[in-house]
Amino acid sequence: MESKNKNNHSILRIEGLKKYFPIRRGFLQKIHGWVKAVDGVSFEIEQGKTMGLVGESGCGKTTVARLILKLLESDAGKIIFQGHDIRRFSEKEMKPYRKEIQIIFQDPFGSLNPRMTIGQSIEEGIRILGNKHATNRKERLETLLSMVGMSSDSSDRYPHEFSGGQRQRIGIARALSVEPSLIVCDEPVSALDVSIQAQIINLLKDLQDQLGLSYLFISHDLNVVGYLCNTISVMYKGHIMEFASSEDIFNHPHHPYTISLLSAIPDPDPDIKWHVKPSNGHIGDSDVVPEGCKYQDRCTIAETACLKDKMVFEKVRENHFVRCWKAAKNHGSSPD
């Protein structure tokens, strides 16, 4: 973040992270263009806090997650984790940090090995951590299972014997097995039913309180993000459009995209009449990126300047940044 004050309590700081995917066409598979999936993303997660990353499908949320975990090699920028820039770390240098950052996936059906028992899946992490004694491992396994609210006799069963919510608990136990300090949650509750979703959200919160975990919570569901997260980054076509505390995003949104996203949530409170201000169109292919602001074609307040000028991330107040010169100007603040 260009103008953000450096906070010592941050566990993870991303600066100008970029990932372009080549578009290859034709017989020779020549590079035809680039999909700018992540185009200069910066944010910060404080120790023991939760940051939400929201945006529509295709905006680059999951790519950011994979870059942080180094499941994908990024093209530029910095990934500063606990004070070290791990972006260019080799596999060997990375090893001590691997256990620190874990991920929970969206699909609890696809992310567990069907041929391994639950116990084997979770124990793998404990073993890698260097716990050599089988009895100690067994003890740890039982603690982990009880932490996520599962009985210890489930460790000998296979993933297909469990429901979606139980599998998500197993996924969480597996992530916890190596004692991480940061967990990337990639849409962890999107595939679950409402009543189960609440159980998992409560569990994530409890674990954070107990273990002091930090979360990067990726979701398209603004209600969940608003409930769970301390700060929120709103992402659109590879850019962060707005960053603020959860309260500010919901009560004082500045960017026209954030405003349109919020107005699109149908509220289950019948007192609030639902006024849809559908933004025009839909999120397009990322390979046809316009010059200037990336949101220009759907924006209701766009002017000619938006078509050419590159948008900068401006500070509108303490801890509230927006990538829209009009919104920043309207709220009477000077860019710094």
In the complex, the smallest distance separating the C-beta of residue 119 from another protein, rounded to whole angstroms, is 21
Please provide the size of the chain in residues: 336
Interface ranges with another protein (CB under 8 A) = 56-57, 163, 165-166, 193-199, 201-202, 205, 220, 222-224, 226-228, 246-247, 250, 260-261, 263-270, 274, 276, 278-279, 282-284
In the complex, the smallest distance separating the C-beta of residue 226 from another protein, rounded to whole angstroms, is 3
Q: Which is nearer to another protein, 177 or 258 (CB)?
A: 258
* CA gap 197, 188 in Å, rounded: 9
In the complex, the smallest distance separating the C-beta of residue 16 from another protein, rounded to whole angstroms, is 27
Q: Which is nearer to another protein, 17 or 213 (CB)?
A: 213
Q: 22-41 burial string, b = 16+ CB within 10 Å, else e?
A: eeeeeeeeeeeebbbbbbbb
* CA gap 164, 170 in Å, rounded: 10
Residues 6+ apart with CB under 8 A from 71: none
Q: Which is nearer to another protein, 69 or 302 (CB)?
A: 302
Q: Which is nearer to another protein, 269 or 336 (CB)?
A: 269
In the complex, the smallest distance separating the C-beta of residue 25 from another protein, rounded to whole angstroms, is 17
In the complex, the smallest distance separating the C-beta of residue 252 from another protein, rounded to whole angstroms, is 13
In the complex, the smallest distance separating the C-beta of residue 134 from another protein, rounded to whole angstroms, is 32
Q: Which is nearer to another protein, 123 or 248 (CB)?
A: 248
Cα distances (angstroms) measured from residue 3 to each of 96, 195, 238, 313, 319: 31, 42, 19, 8, 10
Residues 6+ apart with CB under 8 A from 248: 317, 319, 320
DSSP 86-131: -TT--HHHHHHHHTTEEEE-S-TTTSS-TTS-HHHHHHHHHHHTT-
Q: Which is nearer to another protein, 91 or 269 (CB)?
A: 269
Residues 6+ apart with CB under 8 A from 76: 16, 17, 18
